[in-house]
Protein backbone atom coordinates (compact mmCIF):
# COMPACT_ATOMS: atom_id res chain seq x y z
CA UNK A 1 0.00 0.00 0.00
CA UNK A 2 1.52 3.30 -1.01
CA UNK A 3 1.73 6.14 1.49
CA UNK A 4 0.62 8.74 -1.12
CA UNK A 5 -2.57 6.74 -1.73
CA UNK A 6 -3.26 6.52 2.01
CA UNK A 7 -2.54 10.23 2.46
CA UNK A 8 -4.91 11.13 -0.39
CA UNK A 9 -7.62 8.90 1.09
CA UNK A 10 -7.11 10.40 4.56
CA UNK A 11 -7.46 13.92 3.21
CA UNK A 12 -10.62 13.02 1.27
CA UNK A 13 -12.29 11.27 4.19
CA UNK A 14 -13.61 13.04 7.26
CA UNK A 15 -13.99 9.82 9.23
CA UNK A 16 -12.35 6.42 9.32
CA UNK A 17 -13.26 2.95 10.50
CA UNK A 18 -10.95 1.33 13.04
CA UNK A 19 -11.18 -2.44 13.56
CA UNK A 20 -10.86 -2.77 17.35
CA UNK A 21 -11.10 -5.86 19.57
CA UNK A 22 -14.46 -4.47 20.77
CA UNK A 23 -15.67 -4.21 17.15
CA UNK A 24 -15.39 -1.65 14.36
CA UNK A 25 -15.65 1.98 15.36
CA UNK A 26 -16.21 5.13 13.35
CA UNK A 27 -13.86 7.99 14.30
CA UNK A 28 -13.00 11.47 13.10
CA UNK A 29 -9.33 12.04 12.45
CA UNK A 30 -6.65 14.30 11.01
CA UNK A 31 -3.73 13.49 8.70
CA UNK A 32 -0.50 15.06 9.99
CA UNK A 33 3.19 14.31 9.29
CA UNK A 34 2.62 10.97 7.56
CA UNK A 35 0.11 9.49 9.99
CA UNK A 36 -3.49 9.62 11.13
CA UNK A 37 -4.27 11.06 14.55
CA UNK A 38 -7.39 10.46 16.63
CA UNK A 39 -8.41 11.54 20.11
CA UNK A 40 -10.28 9.25 22.48
CA UNK A 41 -11.75 9.61 25.97
CA UNK A 42 -12.20 12.78 27.98
CA UNK A 43 -15.59 13.56 26.48
CA UNK A 44 -14.46 12.73 22.94
CA UNK A 45 -15.09 9.64 20.81
CA UNK A 46 -14.89 6.32 22.62
CA UNK A 47 -12.44 3.91 20.99
CA UNK A 48 -12.22 1.03 23.50
CA UNK A 49 -9.09 -1.06 23.18
CA UNK A 50 -7.26 1.31 20.83
CA UNK A 51 -4.63 2.48 23.30
CA UNK A 52 -3.79 -1.12 24.24
CA UNK A 53 -3.50 -2.36 20.63
CA UNK A 54 -0.19 -2.65 18.81
CA UNK A 55 -1.79 -2.60 15.35
CA UNK A 56 -5.26 -2.02 13.91
CA UNK A 57 -6.89 -2.12 10.49
CA UNK A 58 -8.06 1.22 9.11
CA UNK A 59 -10.65 1.76 6.39
CA UNK A 60 -11.05 5.17 4.78
CA UNK A 61 -14.23 5.89 2.86
CA UNK A 62 -15.21 8.75 0.58
CA UNK A 63 -17.19 11.51 2.26
CA UNK A 64 -18.99 12.04 -1.05
CA UNK A 65 -20.45 8.59 -1.68
CA UNK A 66 -19.18 6.28 1.09
CA UNK A 67 -17.12 4.13 -1.27
CA UNK A 68 -14.04 2.50 0.20
CA UNK A 69 -10.98 4.54 -0.72
CA UNK A 70 -8.26 2.52 0.98
CA UNK A 71 -7.80 -0.11 3.71
CA UNK A 72 -4.51 -0.80 5.49
CA UNK A 73 -2.88 -1.92 8.73
CA UNK A 74 -1.53 0.78 11.04
CA UNK A 75 0.68 0.70 14.11
CA UNK A 76 -0.76 2.33 17.23
CA UNK A 77 1.18 4.77 19.39
CA UNK A 78 -0.13 6.88 22.28
CA UNK A 79 1.20 10.40 21.78
CA UNK A 80 2.82 12.66 24.36
CA UNK A 81 0.57 15.68 23.74
CA UNK A 82 3.15 18.14 25.05
CA UNK A 83 5.68 16.90 22.49
CA UNK A 84 3.21 16.63 19.59
CA UNK A 85 1.78 20.12 19.64
CA UNK A 86 1.45 20.30 15.84
CA UNK A 87 -0.66 17.14 15.67
CA UNK A 88 -2.79 18.19 18.64
CA UNK A 89 -3.37 21.63 17.12
CA UNK A 90 -4.36 20.01 13.81
CA UNK A 91 -6.82 17.75 15.64
CA UNK A 92 -8.30 20.69 17.55
CA UNK A 93 -8.77 22.63 14.31
CA UNK A 94 -10.73 19.72 12.81
CA UNK A 95 -12.86 19.13 15.91
CA UNK A 96 -16.31 20.30 14.89
CA UNK A 97 -18.91 21.57 17.34
CA UNK A 98 -16.69 21.50 20.42
CA UNK A 99 -18.54 23.17 23.27
CA UNK A 100 -15.27 24.32 24.84
CA UNK A 101 -13.21 25.13 21.74
CA UNK A 102 -11.11 27.72 23.57
CA UNK A 103 -9.99 25.14 26.15
CA UNK A 104 -10.14 22.00 24.02
CA UNK A 105 -6.42 21.22 24.03
CA UNK A 106 -6.20 21.73 27.80
CA UNK A 107 -9.12 19.34 28.33
CA UNK A 108 -7.48 16.76 26.09
CA UNK A 109 -4.19 17.07 28.00
CA UNK A 110 -6.02 16.41 31.28
CA UNK A 111 -8.59 13.78 30.28
CA UNK A 112 -8.13 12.44 26.73
CA UNK A 113 -5.60 10.37 24.81
CA UNK A 114 -4.21 11.29 21.42
CA UNK A 115 -3.20 8.31 19.28
CA UNK A 116 -0.98 8.20 16.19
CA UNK A 117 -1.92 5.56 13.60
CA UNK A 118 1.03 5.01 11.30
CA UNK A 119 0.32 3.14 8.04
CA UNK A 120 2.26 -0.09 7.64
CA UNK A 121 3.15 -1.80 4.39
CA UNK A 122 1.33 -4.78 3.02
CA UNK A 123 -2.21 -5.70 2.11
CA UNK A 124 -4.40 -6.57 5.09
CA UNK A 125 -6.71 -8.71 2.96
CA UNK A 126 -10.47 -8.81 3.55
CA UNK A 127 -12.21 -6.49 5.95
CA UNK A 128 -11.93 -7.45 9.60
CA UNK A 129 -14.89 -9.41 11.06
CA UNK A 130 -17.81 -7.10 11.73
CA UNK A 131 -16.39 -4.26 9.63
CA UNK A 132 -19.26 -2.70 7.68
CA UNK A 133 -19.17 -3.59 3.99
CA UNK A 134 -21.07 -0.42 3.19
CA UNK A 135 -21.21 2.77 5.22
CA UNK A 136 -24.00 3.32 7.69
CA UNK A 137 -25.62 6.72 7.95
CA UNK A 138 -22.74 8.52 9.60
CA UNK A 139 -21.77 12.15 10.09
In whole angstroms, give the CA distance from residue 75 to residue 71: 13
Sign of CA dihedral 16, 39, 122, 1: positive
Average pLDDT of the chain is: 84
Asked whether residue 81 carries a pLDDT value surpassing 80, the answer given is: yes
Q: How far is CA 40 from CA 4, 65, 82, 126, in A?
A: 26, 26, 16, 26
What pTM did the predictor assign?
A: 0.83
pLDDT at 134: 44
Residue-range domains of the chain with CATH:
3-119 (2.30.110.10)
Q: pLDDT of 82-127, one tens digit each?
A: 899 999 999 988 887 777 777 888 989 999 999 999 999 754 343 3
Give first-to-last CA distance, the chain, whole Å.
Answer: 27
Amino acid sequence: MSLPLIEEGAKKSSVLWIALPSGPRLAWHVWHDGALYVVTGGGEQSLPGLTEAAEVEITLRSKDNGAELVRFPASVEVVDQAAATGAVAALAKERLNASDAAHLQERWAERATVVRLTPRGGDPGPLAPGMPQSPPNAP
